[in-house]
Structure 1
Amino acid sequence: MPPVPKKRLTAVEVAKKPPGRHADGGGLYLFVEPTGSRRWLLRTVVHGRRRDIGLGGADLVSLAEARALAHELRAVARAGGDPIAHRDRDKRAPLIFAEAARTVHREQIVPASKNAKAAAQWLRTIEVYAFPKIGRQPVHALAQADVLRVLQPIWLEKPETARRLRQRLRLIFDWTVAAGHREAANPCAGIEAALPRQKTRARHFAALPWADLPALWPRLAAAPGMGAAALRFTILTAARSGEVRGATWAEIDEEAAVWTVPGERMKAGREHRVPLAPAALAELSAVRPLARGDESLIFPSTKPGRPLSDMTLAAVLKRLSVPVTVHGFRSSFRDWAEEATDTPHAVKEAALAHAVRDRVEAAYRRTDLFEKRRGLMQAWADFVTGGGA
């Protein structure tokens, strides 16, 4: 470190020193140009090399401020850090909310999502409701009142959308705090206290009463097309339509009559085995001539390599004038199993691939109850197709 001069600079001298370099001590210098402009410079050692670091003009940075900044940057250099980066940390343009939202979507939501449409909808909700009000504002300046301006207009009018939006805003602000773009607490914390209470009511997928399904089946069986075949297979397996639409021939063991859905395609993230009744195998046999290899889709769309859309299956029901949803057939299966069989609860839940919510029960669950489920799915297929009561 350069020696401290016997006489350090004074504020008056800073304004009157002639052109040249004038030491203040500790590596801090005042440089006066022939034009009369004055600037501060710190000469110190960074990672074993001497570096000159500008501290700003003397007309903007006072002597006391220059000394304090020089002391701070010397400490950073001694600790092995980068004093230039430290100096410039406050010069970065503040992060606006829109960019924060897009960053969280790109780095967290998209990689973790199994559904591209759902991932896109995650960001779309924020673009529609939050961007017009706070999209251009820096995240460090946003307060709870700003979050209220976003949520209040839709809190009662669109309660489900508003709750999802609140959850997404909370995630974005959590990230801004963790990433160092915001020092204040998450403005979504405790926001419910400032919002009116919502009237909650359960929403169910439109489902066909289970007793009506055998009467509908002949019409479904006669419906042509890949969408109709996929719908019939979906009903017979009580699977989610997304699992069926993405199924490949490599997942099917026709000899063992088992469909093994890999964990990455399951809602719960775990591999799921589905026992296939003869009626379900018959649907596979009907589309087998279209297979283009084990890795190909079982129910492909007209676009090569692309699965059917969920709307394709729904369109079959619309053509038949059946006012229910595809997902509703899982409810039909669940009600049938509850009312028309004495199947244990655990077997019914396993057939629907529902996650075990009780942590203790989940810890001791060592089987997927496959053989018991095989009998249940056979009885369901018999009932649906009219082959059994």
Structure 2
Amino acid sequence: MPLTQKMIEKANKRRRYSDGRGLFLSVSSSGRKTWAFLYRFRDASRDTTSEDGKVKRGYLEREMNLGPAMWSRVVGTPDEKDALTLDDARDKAVELRRLVRQGVDPKAERDRETRAVVRVKRGGSTFEQVANQYIDMKKAEWDAGGASEQSWRGSLGKHVYPVIGQTAVDRIDRADILELLRPIWKPKAEGGSIVTATRLLPRLDQIFEYAIAEGLRSGANPADRHNVKKSLPDPSKVHAPKRHKALPYADVPAFIKKLQQRSGVAPRALEFTILTAMRTSEIIGATWDEIDFATGVWTIPASRMKIKRRGSGEAREPHRVPLSKPALDLLRALPRLEGNPFVFVSVQERKKGEGLSNMAMLNLFKEDMGYKGEAVVHGFRSSFKTWAAEASDYPHELSEIAIAHYPNDKTVSAYQRTDLLEKRAPMMRDWASFIYGLPTDAA
């Protein structure tokens, strides 16, 4: 039943009084009367699918305060300058319903405009302020230990803030972004750093998208990575990716024999690195609770992986490594220190109770064993990959997942939800058999 002026005057209970079609009179416990507009706004993220495959459309329930109500015929509400009469409120509700039909969320639109006005009054936010807000908001989903946060703050602090850090974020245009990137969009030999530059561009892109979403600037994103790249040289034409020197896979069995003659933690860590084809950081950070001897699987938390396995919008997933018999035997023979969770423990007096240093394997390989200039520890991953491609019949995708290279294509990633662990296990056994010179079924 529509409200009347008399009903508005007499309304004194704390409740909502409906005028119909989303317009309500709200009365507070103190007797203050305000107008509110309630509506449903289409929200695809709330869609649900029934068992028979039918999609039920989802909606967001919204309430928008329209302001105080003018409820007295005689004096009105003298302390409320913007008080709305019943007719005013109905006219406002008609306009809001029209916006909803057009696909505009009126409350979100008003909030955005309000934020923009407030920011203009306080002189605008600088790029550095906005970047710090974005990092603070996103860092919770980044790596444990702050590796990503440190990388973002470091690259922006060195290359971006000195140039546009104190500039209002709504005053920066595409020309400013190009001027910022061009000096470093070239090889290091020429005073640039193309790797740093290509990492910076997506970060700038995300920060400006955030600024636009927050109402801090309007118009196009000046750092849109796809458009900006059109005005810069093709990175592949000005930068040759660094290739890690690797031992030919045919030389690895002889190297393993030399390595087994050495005692200590570092030689065993290097041997385990070769057996699993994993990165140095993943090896030295390994803890005993990640190793399952019953199943023969090493599960590395996603937070410790360089490349994240995400799946289709899912939480980050860990990387699983099938362990061959030689790998498991190596682990069982390692000493365990009470209170120390690390598989490969530091032997340095000042670092006892910690994990192995990230230089231990490198120094062993380059200095002690004399391979300086010939190969690097990381190169054993290439040795494994080449062996898999040239000396085995295993598919390329298996060896890629074995070294924790997951597809970048989001569509491929969405459908490939398995890590093919069962198929990778025989490959790692064959790799172990090859490097130790064992019969194929012995590892």
> What TM-score comes out, normalization by structure 2 length?
0.62
Aligned with residue 317 of structure 1, among 365, 376, 387: 365
CA shift, 1:371, in A, is 4.1
Give yes or no for contact 1:140–1:184 (8 Å, CA) kept in 2: no
**Is 1:254 aligned to residue 293 of structure 2?**
yes
**Is 1:141 aligned to residue 176 of structure 2?**
no
Bigger-Rg structure (1/2):
1
**Is 1:240 aligned to residue 287 of structure 2?**
no
Counterpart residue identity of residue 169, structure 1:
L
Q: Distance in 2 between matches of 1:186 and 1:305?
A: 49
CA shift, 1:236, in A, is 0.7
Hey, what does 1:156 align to over in structure 2?
186
Counterpart residue identity of residue 382, structure 2:
S
| Cα distance per residue 1:60-119 (max 9 Å; x no partner) | xxxxxxxxxxxxxxx9xxx99999989755322421111222222222145323563343
**SS, match of residue 342 in structure 2:** coil
Aligned with residue 204 of structure 1, among 239, 243, 253: 243
Hey, what does 1:64 align to over in structure 2?
none
Give yes or no for contact 2:68–2:80 (8 Å, CA) kept in 1: no
Hey, what does 2:403 align to over in structure 1?
352
CA shift, 1:335, in A, is 0.6
Q: Distance in 2 between matches of 1:219 and 1:315?
A: 15
Q: Distance in 1 between matches of 2:241 and 2:430?
A: 30
Distance change (3 Å), C-alpha of 1:196 and 1:247:
closer
Matches within 5 A, 1:56-67: none
Aligned with residue 195 of structure 1, among 215, 219, 232: 232
Give yes or no for contact 1:144–1:191 (8 Å, CA) kept in 2: yes
**SS, match of residue 333 in structure 2:** helix
Distance change (3 Å), C-alpha of 1:102 and 1:306:
farther
Counterpart residue identity of residue 355, structure 1:
Y
Aligned with residue 282 of structure 1, among 329, 347, 354: 329
Hey, what does 1:11 align to over in structure 2?
none
**SS, match of residue 185 in structure 1:** coil
Hey, what does 1:113 align to over in structure 2?
143
Q: Distance in 2 between matches of 1:333 and 1:342?
A: 13
Q: Structure 1 stretch 192-201 or stretch 97-106: which is displaced more?
A: 192-201
Give yes or no for contact 1:291–1:297 (8 Å, CA) kept in 2: no
Counterpart residue identity of residue 277, structure 2:
A
| Cα distance per residue 1:170-212 (max 9 Å; x no partner) | 1111111111111132111322333344414343222221111
Matches within 5 A, 1:362-373: 368-373=419-424
Q: Distance in 1 between matches of 2:185 and 2:287?
A: 42
Give the fraction of aligned pairs with identical amino acids, expressed as a percent. Answer: 37
**Is 1:182 aligned to residue 217 of structure 2?**
yes
Hey, what does 1:374 align to over in structure 2?
425
Hey, what does 1:22 align to over in structure 2?
none
Give yes or no for contact 2:297–2:320 (8 Å, CA) kept in 1: yes
Q: Distance in 2 between matches of 1:50 and 1:325?
A: 81
Give yes or no for contact 1:251–1:260 (8 Å, CA) kept in 2: yes
Which stretches in structure 1 are left out of the alignment for 5+ residues? 1-44, 54-74
**SS, match of residue 299 in structure 2:** strand
Hey, what does 1:217 align to over in structure 2?
256
| Cα distance per residue 1:1-47 (max 9 Å; x no partner) | xxxxxxxxxxxxxxxxxxxxxxxxxxxxxxxxxxxxxxxxxxxx769
CA shift, 1:229, in A, is 2.4
Distance change (3 Å), C-alpha of 1:327 and 1:104:
farther
Counterpart residue identity of residue 254, structure 1:
F
Aligned with residue 299 of structure 1, among 344, 350, 368: 344
Counterpart residue identity of residue 278, structure 1:
K
| Cα distance per residue 1:341-374 (max 9 Å; x no partner) | 2223343334334325677776665754444433
Hey, what does 2:58 align to over in structure 1?
none
Counterpart residue identity of residue 297, structure 1:
F
Equivalent pairs, count: 322
Q: Distance in 2 between matches of 1:86 and 1:334?
A: 54
Q: Distance in 2 between matches of 1:362 and 1:196?
A: 29
| Cα distance per residue 1:101-154 (max 9 Å; x no partner) | 222222214532356334312221111111111111111111112112211111
- C-alpha RMSD of matched pairs (Å): 3.7
Hey, what does 1:332 align to over in structure 2?
383
Distance change (3 Å), C-alpha of 1:115 and 1:47:
farther
Distance change (3 Å), C-alpha of 1:230 and 1:50:
farther
